[in-house]
Amino acid sequence: MINLYDLSLDDLESLLSEWGEASYRAKQIYNWLYEQRVADIDAMSNLPKKLRERLKQETVLGTLDVVTEQSSRRDSTTKRLYRLADGQLIESVLMPYDDHRRTACISSQAGCALGCAFCATGQMGFVRNLTATEIFEQAMRFAVELAAEGERLSNVVLMGMGEPFQNYTAVMEAIHRMMTDLGIGARHITVSTVGLVPQIRRFADEGLQVTLAVSLHKATDTERSALMPINKRWNLEELIGACRYYVDKTGRRISFEWAAIAGENDTPEEAHKLGKLLHGLNCHINIIPLNPTGAFAGKPADMAAIQAFIAVLEQYNLSATVRVRRGIDIDAGCGQLKSKVISLNEIH
């Protein structure tokens, strides 16, 4: 079966030409897919019935198969488990906000090879890279469903399963499709990395206004290497150098993610280390109280400690905010995607 989301407009025209159809039918189908965002082929009402029947017989609207879906009772966050065509499993999350933003958190890999100690996905190991279409389709599915409710997908963050910069080419293709086919502005797309230095520099050279977020979590090499093995490959000096290159090249502020772990990296002493590391860099620190995962014993920092931490950062003219924790009751928060995937893989 041909996945219509795999096809460019030129590809569609070629396919329909093989079928003996007029070339303008390709533009009609493309409009139904990406402007009208229909959920099924029968909704393409200006296509001849014969063409619709052939499309239903020989093509599909996506290959992601929903296995389970959970909704948070606390904040209406939705987490979805998808089975891919080869049986692998990934998770995606949709987060609604009171200001009408609708943000999709999507995956770029099945599993992750980088082994960050506090991340559930890292604890499960690496299976494979996703294709550009598999990445894009996660956002597309949410966009279609929101359109049916009179809403639109406004933001996408590549902070789900996997390290996006280890799947660089597919991720960049998917980002371009989100911008062109879904109409999501570059500034409303965020890519998160644990710190792959060459790819950060390459990303800076892309000339896009896509936001870059770097997972930092510790401000010295010894401590960061213990949490994040990638630091042994590219240390903090190399990482911050690449981040400065990104800021200089793009003129954009960079974001740093800081999972606040009680007694580990939430103290004034740690804040001073971070302040000295980042002083003078155009950046913002997103502080996220650690989300629980089964294989990491750390606990989330409390708000009093975090506020004291932020007060120290202000002494270095660094801005920081506490990210609202969402979907925690369904394991949909940052670093939590994976545990249910493992159990379902064992079952199936």
Catalytically annotated residues: 91, 334
Q: What is the largest CA-CA distance in the chain?
A: 71
Structure tokens belonging to residue 35:
């402007």
What is the Cα–Cα distance from 86 to 128, expressed in whole angstroms? Answer: 11
Sign of CA dihedral 235, 323, 296, 88: negative
Q: What is the rounded end-to-end Cα distance, in angstroms, of the chain?
A: 23
What is the Cα–Cα distance from 121 to 91, expressed in whole angstroms? Answer: 10
What is the Cα–Cα distance from 312 to 202, expressed in whole angstroms? Answer: 33
3-state secondary structure the chain: CEEHHHCCHHHHHHHHHHCCCCCHHHHHHHHHHHCCCCCCHHHCCCCCHHHHHHHHHHEECCCCEEEEEEECCCCCCEEEEEECCCCCEEEEEEEECCCCCEEEECCCEEECCCCCCCCHHHHHCEEEECCHHHHHHHHHHHHHHHHHCCCCCCEEEECCCCCHHHHHHHHHHHHHHHHHHCCCCHHHEEEEECCCHHHHHHHHCCCCCCEEEEECCCCCHHHHHHHCHHHHCCCHHHHHHHHHHHHHHHCCCEEEEEEEECCCCCCHHHHHHHHHHHCCCCEEEEEEECCCCCCCCCCECCHHHHHHHHHHHHCCCCEEEECCCCCHHHCCCCCCCCHHHHHHHHHC
